[in-house]
Amino acid sequence: MENDSRDGAPPGRSERARTATLEAALALAAELPYPQVTIEAIAARAGVGKATIYRRWPHRGALMVDAVAHRNDRAATAGGAVPDTGDLAADLAVVLRSVVDELARPEWDALLRALCVEALVDTATRARVLDLVVAPQIALFAERFATARSAGRIDDAVGDTEAFELVVAPVFHRWQLRTGPLDHAYADAVARRACRAMAP
Amino acid sequence: MENDSRDGAPPGRSERARTATLEAALALAAELPYPQVTIEAIAARAGVGKATIYRRWPHRGALMVDAVAHRNDRAATAGGAVPDTGDLAADLAVVLRSVVDELARPEWDALLRALCVEALVDTATRARVLDLVVAPQIALFAERFATARSAGRIDDAVGDTEAFELVVAPVFHRWQLRTGPLDHAYADAVARRACRAMAP
DNA sequence: AGAACGATACGGAACGTTCCGTTTCGGACG
DNA sequence: CGTCCGAAACGGAACGTTCCGTATCGTTCT
């Protein structure tokens, strides 16, 4: 249907325009209210023609998903594995604390809000977010869950996705609706309770 | 600052315009992709001048929040209390099943997506959603939590909001990201695990 | 009579598309 | 092996369209 933006274009010349566009999108999403992050603004910031953008991405949403994936590629260290000290609750608390810290940074907060908006508006974009952003994170948790399973800490009826949701969903929910403070104390409490929820 | 849309306008003639606008907004949000739910489209559907809308609501977001609150007022039965059979997990499962059923209806699904978009884009709208939509729901759960507390089923360290999040967040998360099927089985599992998470 | 209404017209902004002339790449030809 | 040339993608500019938010009509209800 449209250019898939993954190896679809011949290499060499086009790569520059591609990364410039993605990084302009990241920068603008961090600076402006999302409705002002227009294609025109992104093109202007990137020093790129609008046509060049529309040649690669069908919607702003697809562009933003790729931008986040691009960012995750750059900072591959940030997506590090879940630690494994043998204490599941403590390990999860470490991860949730860092998640909370990241969500407190305005750039990442704005970027994730933008991603959620696009995922809510368009079904195809939602699937893309699931594949490129959420699924990799579930995979990271799944590694830690595997050792916890062999230690008898997780009920067999609880799959990796369900366990992931028990851990992450309350933080996500509170981040999105601001029903209360989103701090380290909350991260610790959620990790502790999620552990109990998934125990056999 | 602006007309607060709550009894601010004199009754009689203006009430018709108000409810026509709110219900047009509900209908369009259920029918069209959200970006097409424009003020112009709402005005046309309601048989109302655009100025009449801008006279009452500052943003489309504020209008949508009021529209949802209006809908909740109409179907006050839907917001019924959490049942109390003495079995907390079973009672929560009943509620979560009905939540899942409502989210499966395209109109309510689209409406809630619209609400989330507005809440993500604008902080003030988010606060309005919290007050007019989320807080009342927390209050409904809190009644059931109170009797569960006196039965020693909920740890004292778990507040009403935290308990609400444990119950609702995984369903909300799965609804928004579609990480898996959102059905009665999932509702039951979440209710069971949330109960264990909040136990003393 | 007066206030609120529906309808209409407006300028501005962003949309998505389509041209233009230029630059760069890679294969063909001498 | 070096040169040339066509294809492709580029940045930039313009297009008509849609929606915004405001202003201004004449109308209608109390």
CB A132 within 8 A of CB B151: no
Q: Are residues B184 and B102 in the same domain?
A: yes
CA distance B58 to B175: 29
Distance CA B60, CA A105 (A): 28
Q: Are residues A49 and A90 in the same domain?
A: no
Question: Mean pLDDT for each 10-residue chunk of chain A (200 residues)?
Answer: 35 74 93 91 91 91 92 73 95 97 94 94 93 94 97 96 98 97 98 96
Do both A99 and A49 map to the same domain?
no
In terms of domains, do B52 and B112 share one?
no
Quick one: pLDDT at residue B13?
58
A96 and A193 housed in the same domain: yes
Same domain, A46 and A90: no
Residue at A65 is within a domain: no
Range of the domain at A5: 1-56
Residue that is written with structure tokens 């799944």 in the block: A142
| A88 and A178 belong to one structural domain | yes
CA of B65 vs chain A CAs: smallest distance (Å): 14
Nearest to B56 by CA among B28, B15, B26: B15
- Write out the H or E segment, with its range, that includes residue B188: helix B184-198
Alpha-carbon distance values, B177 to A123, B75, B110 (Å): 10, 27, 14
Residues A19, A115: one domain? no
Nearest to A173 among B127, B172, B180 (CB): B172
Is the CB of B180 less than 8 angstroms away from the CB of A161? yes
Collapse the DSSP code of A143 into the 3-class scheme (helix H, G, I; strand E, B; otherwise coil) and give the result: helix
Which of A 145-184 lie inside 8 A of B, CB atoms?
157-158, 161-162, 164-166, 168-170, 172-174, 176-180
Report the largest interatomic distance among the alpha carbons of chain A, rounded to a whole angstrom. 57
- Residue A70 backbone zone (phi > 0: left; psi -120 to 50: alpha; other: beta): alpha
Chain A neighbors of B194, CB-CB under 8 A: 197
Tell me, yes or no, whether A180 lies in a domain.
Answer: yes
In a domain, A126, yes or no: yes
Residue A158 with chain B: CB contacts under 8 Å: 193
| The domain boundary residue, chosen from B39, B56, B73 | B56
C-alpha A162/C-alpha B24 separation (Å) is: 38
> pLDDT per residue over A100-131, tens digit each?
999 999 999 999 999 999 999 999 999 999 99
Are A112 and A175 within one domain? yes
* Residues near chain C strand, CB within 7 A: A 10-13, 36, 38-41, 49-51, 54, 59-60; B 9-10, 13-14, 16-17, 20, 47-52, 55
Q: Which residue of B has its CA nearest to A175?
A: B120
State how far the Cα of B158 lies from the Cα of A34, in Å rounded to an integer.
35
CA–CA distance, B161 with B169 (Å, rounded to integer)? 11
Q: Would you say residue A61 lies in a domain?
A: no
Q: What is the pLDDT along chain B (200 residues), one digit of tens a residue?
A: 333 333 334 444 578 889 999 999 999 999 999 999 999 999 999 999 999 999 999 999 999 999 999 998 887 655 578 999 999 999 999 999 999 999 999 999 999 999 999 999 999 999 999 999 999 999 999 999 999 999 999 999 999 999 999 999 999 999 999 999 999 999 999 999 999 999 99
> Could you give the CA distance from residue A91 to residue A195 in angstroms, rounded to a whole number?
10
Among candidate residues A183, A131, A37, A35, the one with its CA nearest the CA of residue B120? A35
Q: Report the gap between the CA of B51 and the closest CA in chain A (Å).
A: 22
Cα angle for residues B121, A106, A65 (degrees, 5° grid): 65
Alpha carbon of A140 to those of A79, A91, B25, B110: distances in Å?
A: 8, 13, 42, 32
B66 is a domain residue: no
Q: Is B71 a member of any domain?
A: no
Q: Rounded to whole angstroms, how far apart are CA atoms B138 and B95?
A: 13
Say which CATH number the domain at A48 has: 1.10.10
Considering its fold, how many domains does chain B have in total?
A: 2
Q: Within an 8 Å CB–CB cutoff, is residue A89 touching chain B?
A: no
pLDDT value at residue B79: 59
Domain with residue A173: its CATH number is 1.10.357.10
Residues A96 and A194 in one domain: yes
User: For residue A179, what pLDDT is reported?
Assistant: 97
CA distance readout (Å), A60 to A25, A29, A64, A138, B35:
9, 12, 6, 25, 13
pLDDT of res. B17: 86
Full 3-state SS string of A87-98 = CHHHHHHHHHHH
Residue B166 lies in a domain: yes
8 Å CB contact of B193 and A120: no
* Residues of chain A found within 8 Å of residue B199, distances taken between Cβ atoms: 196
In a domain, B191, yes or no: yes
* C-alpha separations of A122 from A35, A60, B103, B110, B177 in Å: 16, 11, 17, 11, 12
User: Do A51 and A88 sit in the same domain of this protein?
Assistant: no
A94 and A169 share a domain? Answer: yes
